[in-house]
Amino acid sequence: MSAVLSRWLVPWLLLVVLCLPQAPARAEEIAGTLGAVGSDTMAGLMLRWGEALTRQHPGIRLQLQASGSASAPPALVAGTTRLGPMSRPMNEAERRAFIERHGYPPRELAVARDALVVVVHRHNPLESLGRRELDAIFSDSRRCGAREGIQRWRQLGLDRPEGRIRLHGRNAASGTQGLFRRIALCDGHFRPEINEYPGSAAVVAAVAEDPRAIGYAGLNHLTPGVKALARRDASGTRHFPDPEAVRRGDYALSRDLYLYLNLPPGESLPAAERAFLDLVLSPAGQAIVEELGFVALPEARRLRQRRGLALDETGR
Amino acid sequence: MSDSFPPSPVRRRLRQGRDRLATVLVTAGGIGVLAALLAIGVFLAIEVVPLFWPTGGTQTVSQQALWLPQEGADVPAGYRWDPTATLAADEAARVSLVPLAWGTLEAAAWALLIAVPLALGAAAHSALFMAPRLRSRLKPTLELMEALPGVVIGFVAGLVLAPWVERHLADVLAMLVLLVPGLLLAGGLWSRLPPRLQQAMPLGWAGLWLLPWLLLVLAAAHALSPWLEAWAFGGDLRHWLDVRLGLDVAVRNAMIVGMAMGFAVMPSIYALAEDALSGVPRSLAEGAQALGATRWQTLWRVVLPAASPGIFSAVMIGAGRAVGETMIVLMASGNAALMTWNPLDGLRSLAATIAIELPEAGPGGLHYRLLLLAALLLFVFTFLVNTLAELVRTRLRRRYRRLGNGA
């Protein structure tokens, strides 16, 4: 038995071993698992990028753990991942913790544009809200300067819908809630009666079923059941959250989506990460961004970041 | 029987060894469970300590911030849970656990208020009056309800039931108002029926022939609701609540949570209470009836007291589950950290807060430790409920033991 085995097996094994070193040289094959920990807003985006990457390089798999932006920095600090998608920039404490551990700052890459939309029921006649009105609706601190709180639709000059405004939003500690607090509430305090949901889709669903509701959610979660409101600036100009206004930042509730890398200065990217970022910052990668309802980066920024990572000029 | 002749010494030693091994394993299992329970408490306590005594530059919170209403710089004073708030220089942290504890207890109270009368009524009926054939079908079905995962119940309650109730508020109110009189009316009518009809619809099968009547009552409530709304509430119940009582109706509110969680805890209360009631010796009830007691007197004065230890622990187990239940509250309550008596307002429980916020709270940070403190509080709650249940149960059992044995 063992004689048969060795007689047949050994030559085959030898053949396989001999062939191995040649295989990567032929197709420039990269293999491995790419781990990422972070934002749930970007989960769909990361997965689609991961799929596209596997199509280009069948050996690479992206393994994503999407438990919120706040989970990315601890994972990067602990070294359990080298890739942290975040829907907000790292704050000072998170950055400091990273530098303390690794001795150099994390590498920040903007990979897409996103916006928060304020949504109402599709039959609600409201079209736009000013900065102070929005703050007066969602906060009871009114740090943006409104004189009194707004709790009823009547106070917005509407006779329909009747009654009180019902508030919906994201949960505490989410990147989305933090951004809304910073920009729309001028760092103020949310009203305690605001309903909190662990995802933007749930917020939109709750608003879509209730004519008296208002809520905020990520741009990519818009459905036909809700209407996104325009934001009036100080001069009274209305800015709708359309792709152009989000890309240029005219719509004030827009933001960048980031990837944070653990990349020691002077070192070049490992092959798998390099392939991933090459894809993300390519026209194809940005097309996936648009497909999922986010907004692609401005072309100049995309190219600048490619140069920064020493990727070839345009991407495939 | 195998001991009819003396076993050989080898065999005896083998058996003694096996006995000893079994004893060690059982003891180890028992100690293991206790140690695990203790370890959870100790872990939570250790993680929470830095909140109160700064160790190596960790942020601390004051007891006042946790348990007392706080003045804000530019907001009304009150209990606030907003752990990620950006604070002005002279502002106290907004980390009160009071609204969360309130929400937990409020949700559990509503759930028990709905589940206990229904479950105990069903248990008493099926243990004492129901036809055995119907009972043998019904009991497994009700017990199967217990296997429904909380997520499913929460999903149905939050996404189907809540919007429906909000749109048909007057219908629901009319149903609640008409249900009890409707059932009492059914009882009154039945007792006046001619004996032949009574035999055709025996009491033991009431569970079946009451169903059409129930549907009829609900249909009547639905038909009457516009009239009720026009007559009592000026045509719009929601407007009336808003203007007259200053009450707002949240889509996901304490009432919805109560209904959904009541549905979830009902089967376990029913199953335990039913076992307790049918465990009461038949001779006790028969003796009471032989002495001239009516069915009601027998149930109320003899069977219920005799089964009270079991019924009490059934209710307490329901309470324990209601306090710890996470997904139903998370999906059906809207998670608004409010403290009101209004059952149509939202609420936010400790368990739901932990489930939503813990994944996003950085380990070791202030928010993380606050959530572990919330977990510790929840642990204490359930521990108290269970200990109380055990104490009262043993006392009741001691009191009624003579009654049960003497029969």
For A102-120, the pLDDT digits (tens) are 999 999 999 999 999 999 9
Residue A107: the pLDDT is 92
B159 and B260 in contact (C-beta within 8 Å)?
A: no
Report, as an integer, the average pLDDT of B248-258.
89
Least-confidence region, from A8-17, B263-272, B355-364: A8-17
The interface residues of chain A toward chain B in range 177-196, judged by CB-CB distance below 8 A, are 177-178, 181-182, 187-190, 192-196
pLDDT at A21: 46
- Contact map slice: A 48-77 vs B, CB within 8 A: 67-71, 73-74
Q: Scan for tokens 């370890």, then name that residue.
A: B39
Q: Do A108 and A177 fall into the same domain?
A: no
* pLDDT above 80 for A28: no
Report residue A36: phi and psi, to 5°: -140, 140
Residue A288 has pLDDT above 60, yes or no: yes
* Cβ proximity of B247 and B370 under 8 Å: no
Note the pLDDT of residue B374: 93
Q: Is A177 in the same domain as A129?
A: yes
Distance between CA atoms of residues A222 and A244, nearest Å: 17
Of A6-15, A16-25, A277-286, B381-390, which gets the smallest average pLDDT?
Answer: A16-25
**Would A194 be classed as within a structural domain?**
yes
C-alpha torsion angle, residues B395, B398, B403, B407 (rounded to 10): 140
Which residues, in sequence order, are CB contacts of B92 under 8 Å at separation 6+?
A: B62, B64, B65, B70, B71, B72
Q: Nearest CA to B307 among B273, B331, B339, B283?
A: B273
Q: What sections of B195-345 are H helices per DSSP? A: 195-200, 206-233, 237-240, 254-278, 282-290, 295-297, 304-324, 327-332
Per DSSP bridges, beta strands A128-130 and A230-232 are parallel
A231 and A108 belong to one structural domain: no
Q: What is the per-residue pLDDT for A17?
A: 45
From the number of C-beta atoms within 10 Å of its C-beta (0-12, 13-18, 19+), residue B3 rates as exposed
pLDDT of A14 higher than 60? no
- Tokens of residue B157, six digits: 């309650």
> In terms of domains, do A122 and A108 share one?
no
Q: What is the pLDDT of residue A257?
A: 94
Q: What is the model's pLDDT at position B4?
A: 58
Residue B10 carries which side chain, given as an amino acid letter?
V
Same-domain check for residues A218 and A156: yes
Same domain, A177 and A218: yes
List, for residues B164-221, the tens digit of each pLDDT value.
998 888 898 899 889 889 989 998 998 898 889 888 888 888 888 888 999 999 999 9
CATH number at residue A101: 3.40.190.10
Query: What number of other Cβ atoms are within 10 A of residue A132's Cβ?
Result: 17
Provide the shortest C-alpha distance from residue A280 to chain B (in Å): 25
Q: Which two tokens stand for residue B88?
A: 């002005």
**Domain termination residue (choose one: A254, A273, A294):** A254
What percent of the residues of chain A are helix, what percent strand, and what percent coil, each to the nearest 5? 40, 20, 40
Pick from A67, A192, A205: CB nearest B80 = A192
Mean pLDDT value of segment B17-32? 94
Residue A7, in any domain of the structure: no
User: Which residues of chain A have a CB within 8 Å of the CB of B356?
Assistant: 171-172, 196, 198
In a domain? residue A9: no
Rounded distance between C-alpha atoms, residue B307 and residue B403, angstroms: 10
CA distance A63 to A50: 8
Contact criterion met (CB below 8 Å) for B361 and A72: no
pLDDT at A25 over 80: no
For chain B, list residues whose CB is within 8 angstroms of any CB belonging to chain A.
Answer: 72-76, 78, 80-86, 94, 99, 159, 163, 166, 238-239, 242, 248, 250-252, 330, 334-338, 345-346, 348, 356-357, 359-363, 367
Residue-range definition of the domain harbouring residue A217: 115-254
Is residue A56 within 8 A of residue A271, CB to CB? The reply is no
**End-to-end Cα, chain B, rounded Å:** 34
Quote the tokens at residue A280.
């993300």
- Locate tokens 């206990």: which residue? B116
**Partners of residue A119 on adjacent β-strands:** A215, A228
State residue A19's pLDDT score: 45
Question: Considering the domain boundaries, does residue A40 fall inside one?
Answer: yes
A166-170 vs A226-228, strand pairing mode: unpaired
In a domain, A3, yes or no: no
A230 and A286 share one domain: no
- Domains: count for chain A: 2
C-alpha B93/C-alpha B80 separation (Å) is 9
Element (H, E) at A300: helix A299-308
Chain B residue whose CA is closest to A178 = B84
Looking at the structure, do residues A250 and A119 belong to the same domain, yes or no?
yes
Phi, psi (5° rounding) for residue B190? Answer: -60, -40
Q: Domain check: are A201 and A270 in the same one?
A: no
What is the C-alpha to C-alpha distance for residues A123 and A119, in angstroms, rounded to an integer? 11
Note whether A277 and A237 are same-domain residues: no
- For tokens 């059409």, name the residue: B212
In a domain, A237, yes or no: yes
Helix (H) or strand (E) holding A114: strand A107-121
Q: Which amino acid is at A81?
A: T
pLDDT of B233 higher than 60: yes
Does residue A25 sit within a domain? Answer: no
Alpha carbon of A14: minimum distance to chain B alpha carbons (Å): 49
Interface touch B335/A195, C-beta < 8 Å? yes
E strands of B28-135, at which residues? none
On whether ipTM exceeds 0.85, the answer is no
Report how far Cα B211 is from the mean position of its chain's Cα atoms.
Answer: 26
3 state DSSP class of A220: helix
Alpha-carbon Rg for chain B in angstroms:
27
Beta-bridge partners for A239: A231
Note the pTM of the prediction, 2 decimals.
0.83
Cβ–Cβ under 8 Å, residues B110 and B343: yes
In a domain, A24, yes or no: no
Taking the C-alpha atoms of residue B162 and residue B168, their distance in angstroms, rounded to an integer, is 10
Look at B93 and B12; give whichever has higher pLDDT: B12
Considering the domain architecture, whether residues A185 and A273 belong to the same structural domain is answered as: no
Residues A202 and A230 in one domain: yes
- DSSP summary character for residue B345: S
